[in-house]
């Protein structure tokens, strides 16, 4: 009874809150930025969690795993649809290389910095490495929210904004690939059957998306009404997410690969994408509520660690931005502090963190995820300041 009530309440909050969040109101810049990202639903999740009202306790969240799998699968499918090869080829190779450099510079700085910070944790070494690798992958993600918000009030360098938007929309690809490595190291390497298990696991995670993609292409190959497409898409996400849960893999990654395959093969991709995007925001708000419910503030020291993590992430972004300007003469025209425009974390970072939290539940995981979420809130307050500093030199010039 409690589970049913909680599900209905959370869904009501997400769909009703969707009509209030993401709207433009007259607020101070940092407050408007905070509001437009829907972060307030993260705090609603904290309020409903075990730390306060205890409506979304550990047992209830466990019983809601199919719903959370559907949420993660939906986000993964939407993100996979962004990588249509024909459209990606329109951008120069230097842009792709810039995204690669920026992502891995951030990832390396965050991984080694946070691993050193958490050296005091007395936990399984595999879980610790997997947790730090996860938040390092999430740190590579960036969003366009601040860019869109600031550039509506400034005259700006169009080439710079185009590059920032490209990086912030594609750096999640590298984050997901790194996050996939977490599942390959979940079993200790000293296990004598480690290699066999890894080969079987890789076979599963590559075979499932292609098999499901073939299955759904058969559905879409015949005449199908638009109303029927919605039913097929929902069934698609349910089956693929369920298959991921059965093999203890990520619904986010499985559906990302599935979305990538469908968008590059199916003729119905526009109809599918339109349906997916129509309820993207309520799904995102559900994710924030579930994620917030799992947060536990074990001590005040965690806020200091989160601040250090934010500094490491900012350092990685700055280093990545500087390296981007060195790769070719074409890229040298961009400012060296390019990383200032990539501080926003974005929704994919939340999905990666929640997926890890669901797959590997333990005290160490909760502690690491809480650090990452506090850091994201810090980043939300800092991102506009750094972005405006980046764009101030180019204000008044449109290229």
- Annotate 112-172 with DSSP letters as a single string: HHHHHHGGG--S-HHHHHHHHHHHHHHHT---SHHHHHHHTSS---HHHHHHHHHHHHHHH
Residue (of 261, 87, 247) closest to 170 by Cα position: 87
Which of 30-44, 47-61, 203-217 bottoms out in mean pLDDT, i.e. has the lowest? 30-44
Of the chain, the end-to-end C-alpha distance in Å amounts to 60
C-alpha span between 75 and 351 (Å, rounded): 8
Per-residue pLDDT averaged across 88-106, rounded? 89
- Identify the band that residue 110 occupies on the pLDDT scale cut at 50, 70 and 90: very high
pLDDT score, position 32: 53
In terms of DSSP H, where are the helices of the chain?
2-18, 29-36, 40-48, 58-63, 65-80, 85-88, 93-117, 125-139, 145-151, 158-184, 194-221, 226-246, 251-265, 269-278, 280-293, 301-324, 347-359, 363-392
* pLDDT in the model for residue 226: 66
Contact 383, 343 (CB under 8 A): yes
Residue 365 and residue 299 in contact, taking contact as beta carbons nearer than 8 Å: no
Coil, strand, or helix at residue 229?
helix
pLDDT over 90 at 150, yes or no: no
**Residue tagged 């995820």 (tokens):** 369
Which of the four pLDDT bands, split at 50, 70 and 90, describes residue 393?
low
Quick one: which of 348, 261, 272, 274 has its CA closest to 76? 348
- The DSSP 8-state label assigned to residue 399 in this structure reads -
Q: Chain-wide mean pLDDT for the chain?
A: 81
Name the pLDDT band for 120 (thresholds 50, 70, 90). confident
pLDDT at position 371: 92
Give the C-alpha separation, 40 to 29, whole Å: 16
For the segment 293-312, the average pLDDT, to the nearest whole number, is: 88
Of the candidates 40, 128, 46, 114, the one whose C-alpha atom is nearest the C-alpha of residue 296 is 46
Under the banding of pLDDT at 50, 70 and 90, the label for residue 396 is very low
Range ranked top by mean pLDDT from 19-23, 248-252, 285-289, 369-373:
369-373
DSSP-derived letter for residue 104 is H
Q: How confident is the model at residue 137 (pLDDT cuts 50, 70, 90)?
A: very high
Is the pLDDT higher at 26 or at 5?
A: 5
What pLDDT, on a 0 to 100 scale, did the predictor assign at position 370? Answer: 92
Of the ranges 186-195, 264-273, 362-371, the best mean pLDDT one: 362-371
Residue 309 is predicted with a pLDDT of 92
Look at residues 378, 72, 126, 56 and name the one whose alpha carbon lies nearest to residue 253: 72
- Give residue 36's pLDDT: 59
* CB burial readout 278-302, b (16+ within 10 A) else e: ebebbbbbbbbbbbbbbbeeeeeee
Measured CA to CA, the distance from residue 148 to residue 156 in angstroms comes to 11
More confident residue, 188 or 339: 339
Residue 56 forms beta bridges with which residues? 49
The SS3 of residue 34 is helix
Q: Greater confidence, 398 or 387?
A: 387
* pLDDT band (50, 70, 90) for residue 399: very low
- Which whole number is the average pLDDT over 364-369? 90
Task: Give the Å distances, CA to CA, from 316 to 29, 101, 136, 323, 374.
Answer: 25, 10, 10, 11, 18
Q: In which band, very low, low, confident or very high, does the pLDDT at 247 lie, cut at 50, 70 and 90? A: confident
Tell me what the mean pLDDT of segment 6-24 comes to.
64
pLDDT for the residue numbered 23: 53
How far apart, in Å, are the Cα atoms of 396 and each of 145, 152, 176, 391, 393? 21, 13, 37, 10, 9
Average pLDDT over residues 117-126: 79
Contact between 266 and 220 under an 8 Å Cβ cutoff? The reply is: yes
The full set of domains in the chain, from first to last, is 2-398 (1.20.1530)
- As a whole number, mean pLDDT of residues 267-283 equals 82
- The pLDDT value recorded for residue 37 is 67
Residue 324 has pLDDT above 80, yes or no: yes
Within a 13 Å sphere around the CA of 63, how many CA atoms are in the beta-carbon half? 12
């Amino acid at each position: 009874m409690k589970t049913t009530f909680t599900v209905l309440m959370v869904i009501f909050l997400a769909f009703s809150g969707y009509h209030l969040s993401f709207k433009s109101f007259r607020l101070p810049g940092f407050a408007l930025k905070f509001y437009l990202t829907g972060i307030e639903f993260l705090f609603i999740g904290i309020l409903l969690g075990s730390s306060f009202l205890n409506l979304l306790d550990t047992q209830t969240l466990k019983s809601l795993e199919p719903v959370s799998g559907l949420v993660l699968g939906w986000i993964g499918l939407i993100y996979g649809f962004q990588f249509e090869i024909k459209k990606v080829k329109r951008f120069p190779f230097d842009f792709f290389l810039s995204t690669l450099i920026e992502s891995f510079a951030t990832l390396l700085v965050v991984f080694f910095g946070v691993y050193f910070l958490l050296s005091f944790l007395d936990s399984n070494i595999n879980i610790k490495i997997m947790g730090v690798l996860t938040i390092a992958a999430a740190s590579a993600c960036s969003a366009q929210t601040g860019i869109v918000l600031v550039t509506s009030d400034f005259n700006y360098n169009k080439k710079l904004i185009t590059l920032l938007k490209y990086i912030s929309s594609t750096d999640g690809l590298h984050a997901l690939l790194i996050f996939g490595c977490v599942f390959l190291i979940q079993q200790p390497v000293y296990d004598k059957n480690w290699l066999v298990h890894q080969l079987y696991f890789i076979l599963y995670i590559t075979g499932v998306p292609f098999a499901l993609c073939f299955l759904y292409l058969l559905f879409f190959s015949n005449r199908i009404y638009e109303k029927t497409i919605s039913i097929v898409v929902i069934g698609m996400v349910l089956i693929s997410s369920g298959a991921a849960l059965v093999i203890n893999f990520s619904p986010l990654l499985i559906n990302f690969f599935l979305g990538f395959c469908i968008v590059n093969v199916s003729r119905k991709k526009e109809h599918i994408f339109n349906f997916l995007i129509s309820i993207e925001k309520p799904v995102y708000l559900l994710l924030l509520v579930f994620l917030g419910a799992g947060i536990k503030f074990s001590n005040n020291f965690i806020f200091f660690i989160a601040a250090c993590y934010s500094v490491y992430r900012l350092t990685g972004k700055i280093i990545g931005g500087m390296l981007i300007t060195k790769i070719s003469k074409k890229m040298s025209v961009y400012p060296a502090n390019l990383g200032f425009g990539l501080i926003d974390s974005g929704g994919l970072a939340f999905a990666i963190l929640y997926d890890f939290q669901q797959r590997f539940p333990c005290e160490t995981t909760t502690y690491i995820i809480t650090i990452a979420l506090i850091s994201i809130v810090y980043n939300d307050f800092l991102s506009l300041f750094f972005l405006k500093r980046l764009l101030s030199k180019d204000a008044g010039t449109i290229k």
